[in-house]
Amino acid sequence: MSDTSWTPIRRMTLIGVVLLEVLVAFEQIAVATAMPTAAKDLDGLAIYPVVFAVPLAAAVLAMVVAGPWADSAGPRLVIVTGASLFVTGLLLAGAAQSMTMLILGRTVQSIGGGLDSVALYVLIAAAFPEALRPRVFVGISAAWVAPSLFGPPLAGFLATHASWRWVFWVGAAFAIPGLALLLPAMRRLPAIRREREPASSVRRRLVAAAAAALGAVALSLAADRAPALAVGLAVTGGLLLVIFVPRLVPAGTLRGGRGMPSVIATRALLGAAFAGTEVYLPLMLTRQHHLSATEAGLVLTVGALSWSVAAWIAGRRTTHEDQRRLVRIGLVLLTIGVTGAVSAAWPATPAWVLYVAWLVGGTGIGLAYSPLTVLLMGMSAPDEQGRNASSIQTAEMLTTSVLLAVSAIVFGGLTSHSQIAAFGSGLALAAVAGALGIVVSRRLAPVGHAQSADAAAMTESMDAG
């Protein structure tokens, strides 16, 4: 499959990838809506945060495992295993008779989702030529639109009028057709027998992933705790992250080194800035502007739709230079949108300002998100695609978790004194992440490309002189 035409098998593969991504998106969005009802029904409100913290750690571990596994054996077995675990976890969670069983189901589900999220990137790189990959990743972005629009109301309806269990069981139905559509493409992949990463190296990465995930969980649990406990959790979590995150990403990522390290760092900052803003928008509209839950939820719809439209535009740009330019433009727009959202913390600001701000912010992440993935896969050798896909997704997940945790600590500390200060500070942290992303995104070009560009500019300057 070396040509760039949309053959039937490529179309089937795209549809299968999108269906699996719709499943992941629906479960992530809908489960958050139904979880309060489930926790109350199972008498588990006292350990409610654990339902999210343990699966987060499991997903990080699965991503770390999936990378070298897909590199050494190919994506097929990883995808089948991940989809099977995902469905098993959904069925277990839906049948849970206790909070412990629900946490177990969610953990198994997250392991499967972590495996698939990495292996699907490797499958896309193997099944589609580089010229078609931007449009494939547009499809992945678009897969989040329908769940964003219909996931919360559907989950709320099921939890209220049927049972919260159906939120899990409905999701399982999407996995089977999605996986079936991927099988023809996976059968055509050449057999891969690469040298496996040494077991000692894998163990070190797993330990680092477990410690980093534990650090993110500790930070997230520090919010709304007694001062002494909050400080202890925050310090412990911060130390674990500082020590172990560098072992999960390529050298130079934390300082924004040129090329792949900057691609990974930019994606992490981009995702964190977006998520760190969205989490506050509906709450701010209901508290500061007294809108209904339905009216406040529309701001998320605006962001999802503008993301989708912008991603479609980005998918039509296939050169790496265009993609790097789109990333920089997107980060500027996202940061402008987040900054505009800060102004809505004041009740005197018209509510429509926030909707316009998030239209701009959604457009920004839509322009930047998919091109970063395309750039990463274009820089990755075939035997490194899994590991690099693991790095970019792990970095984004951990950075987002850290930003949300720190934001929650700040928000919780200020909310009793000033709602304006609480919302403004939380959003300001997201704006800082966006601004850092703008700075790092100037170093997306690989070292050789940057040197060639500098040499060309110097030659033009000498010729002009």
Per-residue pLDDT tens over the stretch 284-333: 888 888 887 667 778 888 888 898 889 888 888 778 898 899 999 999 99
Q: What does the pLDDT read at residue 461?
A: 43
pLDDT score recorded for residue 3: 67
Full-model pTM:
0.80
pLDDT tens for each residue of 255-293:
888 998 999 999 999 999 998 898 888 888 888 888 876
Task: Break the chain into its structural domains and give their ranges.
Answer: 1-187, 207-248, 256-465
Is the per-residue pLDDT at 458 higher than 60?
no
What is the structure's pLDDT at 196? 65
Angle at 40 between CA 156 and CA 36, to 5 degrees: 40
In this predicted model, what pLDDT tens digit does every residue of 133-164 receive, in sequence order? 888 888 887 787 777 777 777 777 777 778 88
pLDDT bucket at 49, cuts 50 / 70 / 90: low
- Taking alpha carbons only, the member of 46, 52, 47 closest to residue 32 is 52
CATH class entry, domain 256-465: mainly alpha
Q: Are 57 and 210 in contact (CB under 8 A)?
A: yes
- Residue 120: the pLDDT is 87
Q: Is pLDDT larger for residue 305 or for residue 185?
A: 305
Confidence of residue 435 (pLDDT cuts 50, 70, 90): very high
- Band of residue 457 on the pLDDT scale cut at 50, 70, 90: very low
Mean pLDDT for the stretch of residues 72-77: 83
More confident residue, 202 or 177: 177
Give the lowest-confidence range in 213-227, 262-276, 427-441. Answer: 213-227
Q: In this predicted structure, what is the pLDDT of residue 325?
A: 94
Task: Quickly name the fold that domain 1-187 has.
Answer: Growth Hormone; Chain: A; (1.20.1250)
Calculate the dihedral angle through the C-alpha atoms of 24, 139, 79, 212, rounding to the nearest 10 degrees.
-60
pLDDT at 53: 67
- The residue-averaged pLDDT of 176-203 equals 72
Mean pLDDT value of segment 106-125: 88
**How many Cβ atoms are within 10 Å of 401's Cβ, its own excluded?**
26
Residue 459 pLDDT: 38
Integer Cα distance of 83 and 114 in angstroms: 10
Per CATH, 1-187 and 256-465 having the same topology is answered yes
> Rounded mean pLDDT of 90-98?
89
Q: Return d(Cα 226, Cα 210) in angstroms, integer.
A: 26
pLDDT in tens, 337-358: 999 999 988 998 998 999 999 9
Stronger pLDDT, 199 or 291, i.e. the higher one? 291
| CA 456-457-461 angle, 5° bins | 115
Residue 455 above 70 pLDDT? no
Q: How far is CA 387 from CA 109, 225, 372, in A?
A: 21, 37, 16
Highest mean pLDDT among 3-7, 205-209, 269-273, 397-401: 269-273
Q: What is the pLDDT of residue 147?
A: 78
Average pLDDT in the 385-404 region?
86
Which of 197-201, 396-400, 444-448 has the least mean pLDDT?
197-201
- In percent, how much of the chain has pLDDT > 70? 90
pLDDT digits (tens, 9 = 90+) for 17-48: 888 888 877 777 777 667 777 877 888 766 66
* pLDDT on residue 432: 95
Whether the predicted pLDDT of 204 surpasses 90: no
Alpha helices in 128-198 (DSSP H): 133-142, 145-157, 165-188
- First and final C-alpha spacing in the chain: 49
In angstroms, the CA 118 to CA 386 distance is 6
Mean of per-residue pLDDT scores for the chain: 82
Residue of higher predicted confidence among 342 and 181: 342
Tell me whether residue 24 is exposed, middle or buried, using C-beta atoms within 10 angstroms of its C-beta: 0 to 12, 13 to 18, 19 or more.
buried
- pLDDT score for 463: 47
